[in-house]
Amino acid sequence: MAEKRIGVCNLCEAICGLELTIEGREVIGVRGNDADPLSRGHICPKGVAIADVYADPDRLKRPVRRVHGGWEEIGWDEAFDLVADNLARVINEHGDDALGVYLGNPNAHSLGSMTHGTAMFKSFRTKNRYSATSVDQLPHQLVAHLMFGHQLFLPIPDIDRTSWFLVIGANPMASNGSLMTVPDFPNRARELKARGGRMVVLDPRRTETAKIADEHHFVRPGTDAWVLLAMLHVLVTEGCPEVASYVDGLATVVDLVADFTPERAEAMSGLPAEEIRRLTRELVAADAGVVYSRIGVSAGPWGTVCQWAVNCLNVLSGNLDRAGGAMFTSPAIDAVGTGLIGRGHHYAWRSRVRGLPETAGELPVSALREEIETPGEGQVRAMLTVAGNPVLSTPDGSRLDGALRGLDFMAAVDIYVNETTRHADVILPPTTALERDHYDLVFHLLAVRDTARFTPAVFEKDADQRHDWQIFREITLRTTARLERKAPLKKRLVQRARLTASPTFLITQLLRRGSSGVTMKKLRARPAGIDLGPLRGGQLPARLPSKGKRLDLAPALVVADVARLAAVDVPTGDELLLIGRRHKQDCNSWMHNSERLTRGRPRHQLLMNPDDLAHRDLADGALVRVTSRIGSVEVEVAASDDLMPGVVSLPHGYGHAREGVLMTRSREVPGVSINDLTDPELLDVSGNAALNGVPVAVTPA
């Protein structure tokens, strides 16, 4: 007998509500849940494929240990002891920093990771903590910390009410939005137009989003900072705005942007000066306008300056904290206001080898390889990775791959033997989305509308499966028990109590502490979700997390980096610049095992402007060699006039055909890893990798 169940998709930040049809232990249908107040019935091809993860025969369900020539299933107890023995041994022999940890993207999409994973990582006192943050949104977090006082107090574009929307380095038509939880972007963009609003896109590629926008302009990769500073320049010279009494630093901003003229921005970026002036005037004149930028910019050489400039534009055009502008959410569980997530800090310590700064307790992942390979005190000798694939996801992945082989010990909490976890001695696989309860602690915080939703597990887990929170609990308790240098008893007892409570219990408690009126009982009665309404304006300065409730427009770190930017000359080289790409049917490095997402026309090619091909006597479809300072790959090229001349694009998350990867279908998916070309030396001031705008040469293979 088929039954309907409500589920949730955790594959991207859009957190769509699902309606599943199940028969016994099988999913026979997946559609969007029309009753969901946030996602309104939206679903994308990946949402349907969530059933493929659940049913994938390659997915691990029980722990495995590496033995000569393969893997052997072992019991949970043995697996936990093996991990705890080895982690504790390395820490006892070589110190706390000898353990390295890497947290991948799906951690943000798992409740158990947010509640119990964070507790586990705190219990390890290592400075060698890394995550996907530093190949992604680190500049956003650093800037929010510096300007507003909290790394996750992030302004969200109020897309449902704005009349002028500037999108820079983001492709929500493919990505479904990021640091802007916006399920159903296509319809929301359509509604924006229907009410007379405009959407403008700046991107070196005419993307799916650019194609539905009112206007698209090419910008040379890595040069957005000049454009944004020129917009600020225009804004403050054509009638300097007044700012609210809680805002500091306007005079410094005016000084900083004085020499960043639109003409200079044109020379750097290719975007005409007159267009920069017009766009700025449109932003200022709009009933409600908002500037939004994402990974094309944050994972670039000037990510921090850019995110800062975006915030300044929203503040100085009067659009921060007002309807239709850049707004702050009021989630039922306010992980920022309650201090559940810390404010963040920067430069509290540096990486051992290159002296790169930590942010909020993490070092840039671009430093991980050298921290494993460079001998000396504090060298990383054991790794624990959780839901991550840094071999494909981080710069110079192939060399990191080699470094992982040299570790004394590696454990992974992951559901696949992928390019990274194949190096583990033990893999501990947790349950996945359909088998666990979910409440979104992260993405309600970043959503374009305030809603709350609790989704109980669709399927009960098998008796011999474990949830990730149970895995984190066991690793923590067993490892800390074996450490020679123990935390104080009181701390350990608190830790034990916290780890023993289930995530669902913790959420129930946290809801009680909030003032939204949402309770677990109400959420269970309305599984589609509870609507708390559009984002609320006029919340500042009361909700500013900074001490003294001030907003700092001119943090010293940014001021210094703008000075560095001012000294950069117009580039003269004729190298091509490599940028990344996302497709609707891809999910970072890991959904390529799904047949329904990978059949059809291949999409792994290097995209290149036809003129650039002609200059090099290359034919569309030819096999080419792409070479950067770091390495070279061979891949088919496809002509596309959607690419700005001088720019080439490869998707990330490809290149699975490596020895030992146990993902049957993925291994047959053609393509190479873009991160065999990206450079760990190319960094933003925050330490975020500059993955976009990497100089490359393209020659016949």
Ligand X SMILES: Nc1nc2c(c(=O)[nH]1)N[C@H]1C(S)=C(S)[C@@H](COP(=O)(O)OP(=O)(O)OC[C@H]3O[C@@H](n4cnc5c(=O)[nH]c(N)nc54)[C@H](O)[C@@H]3O)O[C@H]1N2
Smaller CB separation from Mo ion, 421 or 589: 589
Q: Which stretch binds Mo ion (CB under 5 A): 80-88, 128-136, 432-440, 482-490?
A: 128-136
Tell me, residue by residue from 138 to 177, as one string, x for binding to ligand SF4 by CB under 6 A and - for no binding: --------------------------------------x-
8 A C-beta contact, residue 424 and residue 101:
no
171 binds, among Mo ion, ligand X, ligand SF4, none (CB under 5 to 8 A by kind): ligand X
Using CB under 6 A as the criterion, what x/- string covers residues 176-195 for binding ligand X? Answer: x-x-----------------
Q: Which is nearer to ligand SF4, 30 or 554 (CB)?
A: 30
Q: Which is nearer to ligand X, 471 or 553 (CB)?
A: 471
Among 7, 100, 149, 183, binds ligand SF4 (CB under 6 A): 183
Residue count at the site for ligand SF4 (CB under 6 A)?
12
Q: Which stretch binds Mo ion (CB under 5 A): 135-143, 429-437, 645-653, 654-662?
A: 135-143
Residue 433 near ligand SF4 by CB under 6 A: no
Q: Residue number with the shortest CB distance to ligand X?
A: 296
For residue 222, the partner it binds in ligand X, Mo ion, ligand SF4, none, with Cβ less than 5 to 8 A by kind, is ligand X
277, containing H or E segment: helix 273-285
Return the biggest CA–CA distance within the chain: 71
Strands (DSSP E) along 227-352, which ranges? 247-248, 289-293, 326-327, 346-350
Tell me the closest approach of the beta carbon of residue 594 to ligand SF4, in angstroms.
12
Helices (H), ranges, 467-544: 468-482, 489-500, 503-513, 520-525
Does the footprint of ligand SF4 cover residue 12 (CB under 6 A)? Answer: yes
User: Of 4 and 405, which has the nearer Cβ to ligand SF4?
Assistant: 4
Residue 189 binds ligand SF4 (CB under 6 A): no
Which H or E element spans position 372? Answer: helix 368-373
CB of 178 to ligand SF4, least distance (A): 10
Structure tokens at 159: 């897309």
Piece of the chain touching Mo ion by CB under 5 A; list 130-138, 248-256, 315-323, 477-485: 130-138
C-alpha count within 13 angstroms, C-beta hemisphere, residue 126: 32
**Helix (H, G, I), strand (E, B), or coil: what is residue 410?**
strand
300, 224 Cβ separation under 8 angstroms: yes
| Terminal-to-terminal C-alpha distance of the chain | 56
d(CA 135, CA 209): 22
* Nearest in space to 594 (alpha carbons), one of 233, 1, 58, 173: 58
Q: What is the sign of the dihedral through the CA atoms of 509, 510, 512 and 518? A: negative
Q: Which residue is nearest to ligand SF4 (CB)?
A: 47
Binding region for Mo ion (CB under 5 A) out of 31-39, 129-137, 246-254, 415-423: 129-137
Residue 428 binds which of ligand SF4, Mo ion, ligand X, none (CB < 5-8 A, kind-dependent): none
Radius of gyration of the CA atoms of the chain, in A: 24
How many chain residues interact with ligand X (CB under 6 A)?
65
Q: Residue 298 contacts by C-beta under 8 Å, 6 or more apart in sequence?
A: 136, 137, 138, 139, 140, 169, 306, 307, 684, 688
Is residue 16 at the binding interface for ligand SF4, with CB under 6 A as the rule?
Answer: yes
> 614 Cβ partners below 8 Å, 6+ apart?
none
Give which of ligand X, Mo ion, ligand SF4, none residue 110 binds (C-beta under 5 to 8 Å, depending on kind). ligand X
| Contact status, residue 50 vs residue 434, Cβ threshold 8 Å | yes
9 contacts ligand SF4 (rule: CB under 6 A): yes
Which residue matches tokens 């305030």? 450
- Kindly state the DSSP code that residue 532 receives in the 8-state scheme: E
Rounded to an integer, what distance in angstroms lies between the CA atom of residue 219 and that of residue 240? 27
**C-alpha to C-alpha distance for 357 and 380, rounded to whole angstroms:** 17
Distance of CA 229 to the CA centre of its chain: 25
Please list every residue from 1 through 60 that binds ligand X, using CB under 6 A. 12-13
| Cα distance between residue 309 and residue 297, in whole Å | 11
Scanning 43-51, 112-120, 123-131, 310-318 for contacts with ligand SF4 by CB under 6 A, the matching segment is 43-51
Cβ–Cβ < 8 Å for 361, 343:
no
* Segment near ligand X (CB under 6 A); pick from 216-224, 452-460, 514-522, 556-564: 216-224
Pair of tokens at residue 658: 């490596």
Does 616 interact with ligand X (rule: CB under 6 A)? no
Q: Report the residue from 6, 20, 22, 44 that binds ligand SF4 according to the rule CB under 6 A.
A: 44
Q: Are strands 551-552 and 247-248 parallel, antiparallel or unpaired?
A: parallel
Q: Does 607 bind ligand X (CB under 6 A)?
A: no
x/- string (CB under 6 A) for ligand X, residues 634-653? ------------------xx
By a kind-dependent CB cut-off of 5 to 8 A, residue 15 interacts, out of ligand X, Mo ion, ligand SF4, none, with ligand SF4
Q: Shortest Cβ distance from residue 13 to ligand SF4 (Å)?
A: 7
- Residues 6+ away with beta carbon under 8 Å from 321: 155, 327, 328, 537, 538, 539, 540
The yes or no reply on residue 136 touching Mo ion (CB under 5 A) is: yes
Helix (H) or strand (E) holding 358: strand 357-359
Tell how strand 99-103 and strand 382-386 pair up: parallel
What are the residue ranges of helices labelled H in 514-606? 520-525, 556-566, 595-598
> Choosing among ligand X, ligand SF4, Mo ion, none, which partner's interface includes residue 652 (Cβ < 5 to 8 Å by kind)?
ligand X
What's the gap between Cα 495 and its chain centre? 28
- How far apart CA 181 and CA 176 sit, in angstroms, is 8
Is 175 near ligand X (CB under 6 A)? yes
How many of the chain's residues bind Mo ion (CB under 5 A)? 1
- Per-residue x/- marks for ligand X, 372-401, CB under 6 A? --------------xxxxx--x--------
Q: Which of 19, 46, 217, 465 binds ligand SF4 (CB under 6 A)?
A: 46
Minimum Å gap between C-beta 340 and Mo ion is: 21
State which residue, 13 or 266, has the beta carbon closest to ligand SF4.
13
- Binding string to ligand X for residues 217 to 256, with x set by CB under 6 A, is what? --x-xx-x--------------------------------
Residue in 155, 172, 262, 303 binding ligand X, rule: CB under 6 A: 172
Contact of 11 with 47, CB cutoff 8 Å: yes
Rounded-to-integer distance, Cα 174 and Cα 302, Å: 24
Residues interacting with ligand X, by CB under 6 A?
12-13, 104-106, 110, 132, 135-136, 168-172, 174-176, 178, 202-205, 207, 219, 221-222, 224, 294-297, 299-300, 386-390, 393, 413-416, 418, 430, 432, 468, 579-580, 582-584, 586-590, 652-653, 674-675, 678, 691-693
Residues interacting with Mo ion, by CB under 5 A?
136
Residues interacting with ligand SF4, by CB under 6 A?
9, 11-12, 14-16, 43-44, 46-47, 176, 183
